[in-house]
Amino acid sequence: MIIAVSDVHLAEKPADPKVRADDKKFADFLDHIASNQLKKGGDLVLVG
């Protein structure tokens, strides 16, 4: 399985703490998926 993710919004550095918290949750979620996929021999592609 190949997972493609755009990380453009993460580079915007929003001032709103809630948005930052949501981005942190999203980044943690991506890390979890990537770790599981890479263990299974999958690929993770970041599109920025």
Question: What pLDDT score was predicted for residue 35?
Answer: 78
Q: Give the helix, strand, coil percentages of the chain, each rounded to 5.
A: 60, 20, 20
Report the distance separating Cα 22 and Cα 25, nearest Å: 5
Question: What pLDDT score was predicted for residue 39?
Answer: 76
Mean pLDDT of 9-34: 75
**Tokens found for residue 46:** 């970041």
Provide the whole-model pTM: 0.49
Q: Which residue has the higher pLDDT, 1 or 16?
A: 16
List the one residue out of 21, 30, 35 whose CA is nearest residue 48: 30
Mean pLDDT of 10-33: 75
